[in-house]
Every structure is written in structure tokens, then in C-alpha cells.
Structure 1
Amino acid sequence: MTTGLEKNVAAAERRAAATERPVAAAEEKKAPSLLDRMGGPTGLAYTYLPILVFVLANTLLGLKGAIGSAVAVAVGLCVLRLTRKEPVMPAVSGLFGAAVASFIAYRTGSAKGFFLVGIWASLVQAALVLISVLIRRPLVGVVVNLVNGGGQAWRRDKPTLLAYDIATLTLFAVFAARFIVQQWLYEASTTGWLAFAKIAMGFPLFGLAAVVGIWAVRRATKRREVLAGELRPAEAI
């Protein structure tokens, strides 16, 4: 027979659960998106504006003028970020990328050299991601469980491992597509289209990979909850 105390406890638990649901929903809404992690729209500008300036300046001023303009814009974005007392990492990353790309372009004596580092970086990234799947340690799963402190148990559950395989192979497809398309454009010496491909195959494709990654994490979380539920009765015996 249910006592009055048990009824009060049950009612209190229901009220607590009802209170926690809106709080959890609010926390989910506040979770930063992929765009937020990249510094928002301004963060994308810090990454891509030097590229656009390089292509335009190369048409008007030649290679040396393009190199100077791209680096000057990247430096200017860093200074702007500092004066606004905003995090400078997106701008510093853009400056570093522009400086390295400009150096390669100067050494090769060709504007298309500006994109060479990014092209081959995509190939290396694609290879590393694919290897992680082949050795049964898909990179997305490894990173997620390192961050969450999930240990190695996820690798022994086939549905979870499959989900992380799919997410990691999506990331491989992004890197491989970037290398294939941009290397082809590099060989064709189409600097303008190289810039377009670098931008178009950057955040949009990574956004797609992020969606698949989120799906994999949610699937893995549900599997963990199911497995935990199956273990509880056994532990109680």
C-alpha cells in the first residue's frame, strides 16, 4: 500500500523532472554551433577575405602585389580584432595561413601556388582519417570519447562503432573531394576557380560532416543508455 510519504516523494520527483526539462532544453539551445566555434560570420571573413583579396589583387597588381595585399589584409584583421578586444585566434589563424600560402606562391613564382599547401593538406588529412577507420579506431569516435572521457568501451559495440565509421568516412569524403577538385583546378591553372572551390568546399562541406557527426554522437549516446539499462537488472541480482 502506498503511504502518504511515498506519494509526496513521487510528486516531488515529478515536479523536479518537469523543472529540469526546460532547463535542459535551454542549455541545448545555448550550445554553440559549428559556425560559432569558427568565430561566427566574422571568423569566416578572417579566413576567406585574404584569399579573395589575393585573387583580385593578382589580376590588378600581379603576384607580388597580390601577396602584399593578402598579408596586409590578414594583419589588418588581427589589429581590428585586438582593438575590439575580441578573441584573436581566428584572425591569427587567417594571418598564418595567408603568410604560408603567400610564401609558397612567391617561391613557385605562380599565383596558384597560394593554394598548394591547402591542397596537399587535404590529401594528408584524408589519408589519416581513412587509416583511422581501417585500423578500427574511427577518428570521430576517438576524439568524442577523449573529450567526454568515454574510455574504449564504445569500440566493442558494433552499432556504435558503425555510427562513428560513417561519420569518419563522411569526413574522409570531404577531404578527398577537396583534394581531387582543387588539384584538378591547380593543374588547370585556374586561380579564380581555385579560390571559389576553397571557399565553397570549406565551411559548407564541413557543416555536412558536422551534421553526420552529431547524428553519430546521438546514436552512440542512445546505445550507451540502452546498454546501461540492460546491465542494471543483472547488477541488481
Structure 2
Amino acid sequence: MGGLGGLVSSTLPILVLIPVNNRFGLMWALIASLTVAIAIFVWRLARRENLQPAISGLLGVAIGAAFALFTGDAKAYFLYGIWMSLIFAVVFIISVVVRWPMVGVAWRGVNGHDMTWRMVPGARRAYAWATIAWSLVFLARFLVQRNLYDADATNALALARIAMGWPLTGVAALLTVWAVRHASKAIEDASPEPADSVESAPSEPG
């Protein structure tokens, strides 16, 4: 959730990190990335927009910067995101296996609905397909970016992080929209019809 703002918050610091690192070194690159993340947060705060994407982006940049600073290598900036992708992939797959598809849990929970949708097979299947799509996105990110990390291809790793962010997220988001609509229709169709009120006829005078 975070939407377009979340993607921007996570992408701009990377666009700054690599060129600054190549030209001025790791420390200046980390300072530049953190500065961009803080600027995004302040901008959204000033405009009174939803701060969740900016907070998530700032936290992600801070953790990545800490990894890079600790190891002294710019590629470690991406290590947190790589392993989180694997964790999300596993969690999403398990959620489908146990019939609590994560997309359904997240969507219905965020919107304040109960979990009775799990009793509707059509809704559960729709959310399961969307959850599988997200798990494949996370798994693809992990496999590709882990290989680039092992190959010390920092520039390619940054490009892969961006390329596998926007396009794959867009595809998964479209499937999520379909799942939400399909699940909502299935839930509506499964809801019992309200009983028609029967007006009692006036008794005849006897």
C-alpha cells in the first residue's frame, strides 16, 4: 500500500546513490540518499499528504545506509531489500497454503472489514491468485538481485531494483484490482437476501 508515493520514495534515493557513489564515494552517496529521503518526508508533511510511504521509504533508506556503512560497500545498501523480498515471498506463499491469502487479509483489514470472506470460495480464490502474483514478484526480485549482489554488480543491482519495482508492481497491482473486484462480487452474491416484509392484512369485522 503506499502506491505511487511509495514507489517514488523508494526509487529516488537509489537514483541518487549510484552516481554519487561512483563520483564522490560511499559516504557522500549515503548522505545524499538520506537527504533525498528526508526531503520527500518533509515535502509530504508540508502538503499534509499520507506519510506512510515517506516513512517507509525513509526507514528503508536508513537501514540500507546502515548496512552499507557497516560493510563499507555500496552494494550492501540493497541487502535488506533483497532478503525482505525472500521473506515476503515465503510468507505470501504460506498464506495461500493455509487459506489465508495475504492480499485478502491486508485489503479487508485495511478497509476495516471482517474476515468472513474466507467462507466464500470465489473470494478466497481471487485473493489467492493475487497473493500468488505478489509472491512471484518478490521471488523474482530476490533471485535476480541476489545473483547481481554475489557478482558485485552494484550498478546493475541498482538498475534491477528500479526496473523490478515499477513494472512488476504495476502488473501485480492490476491483478490485485481484478481480485478485489471479483472477490467483492462473490461476497455480494453469497450474501443472503433480506426477507421480504409481509404486511398483515386487516382483519374483517366479524
Q: What is the TM-score normalised by the length of structure 2?
A: 0.83
Deviation at 1:78, TM superposition (A): 3.7
**Residue 191 of structure 2 corresponds to residue 191 of structure 1:** no
CA shift at 1:112, angstroms?
Answer: 0.5
Matched position secondary structure for 1:87: coil
Equivalent in the alignment of 2:204: none
On the 8 A contact 1:78/1:88 being kept in 2, the answer is no
Residue 76 to residue 158, structure 1, CA distance change in 2 (3 Å): closer
- The structural deviation recorded for 1:148 is 4.6
Show the 5 A alignment for 1:26-65.
Answer: 37-39=3-5, 44-65=7-28
Other-structure match for 2:59: 96
Q: What are the within-5 Å matches in structure 2 for residues 149-164 of structure 1? A: 149-164=112-127
Describe the SS at the equivalent of 1:189. Answer: coil
Deviations 1:91-130, CA, capped at 9 Å, x for gaps: 4433322221111011112111010000011111111111
- Once the two structures are TM-superposed, the CA of residue 149 in structure 1 deviates from its matched residue by 5.0
Q: Which residue of 2 aligns with 1:15?
A: none
CA distance in 2, matches of 1:137, 1:85: 37
Take 1:175 and 1:169, find their aligned partners in 2: how far apart are those partners? 10
Aligned twin of 2:84: 121
Q: In 2, distance between residues paired with 1:153 and 1:95?
A: 35
Q: Which secondary structure state, in structure 2, belongs to the residue aligned with residue 137 of structure 1?
A: coil
2:34 paired residue among 48, 71, 95: 71
**Do the aligned partners of residues 168 and 195 (structure 1) sit closer, same or farther apart at CA in structure 2, a change above 3 Å counting?**
same
Q: Relative contact order (C-alpha < 8 Å, sep 6+): which is higher?
A: 2
Corresponding position: 1:132 with 2:101: no
Task: Flag the 1:220–1:116 CA change in 2: closer, same or farther, 3 A.
Answer: same
Structure 1: which 5+ residue stretches go unaligned? 1-33
The answer as to whether partners of 2:120 and 2:190 remain within 8 angstroms in 1 is no
Alignment RMSD (CA, Å): 2.5
Structure with the higher helix share, 1 or 2: 1
**Counterpart residue number, 1:26:** none
Which residue of 2 is the match for residue 232 of structure 1?
Answer: 193
Give the 3-state SS of the residue equivalent to 2:142 in structure 1.
helix
CA distance 1:226–1:193, shift in 2 (3 Å): same
Structure 1 residues 130 and 44 mapped into 2: Cα distance closer, same or farther (>3 Å)?
closer
Structure 2, gaps ≥5 residues long = 199-206
Q: Which residue identity lines up with residue 58 of structure 2 in the other structure? A: L
Q: 1:204 to 1:61 in 2, by over 3 A?
A: same
Identity %: 43
Question: The residue matched to 1:219 in structure 2 has which SS?
Answer: helix
Give 3-state SS (helix, strand or coil) of 1:38's partner.
helix
Deviations 1:1-54 (A, max 9, x none): xxxxxxxxxxxxxxxxxxxxxxxxxxxxxxxxx78x433xxx644322211111
Relative to structure 1, is the Cα distance of residues 225 and 196 closer, same or farther in structure 2, using a 3 angstrom cutoff?
same
Identify if the C-alpha distance between structure 1 residues 123 and 69 changes in structure 2 by more than 3 Å, giving closer, same or farther.
same
Which of residues 31, 49, 66 in structure 2 aligns to 1:87? 49
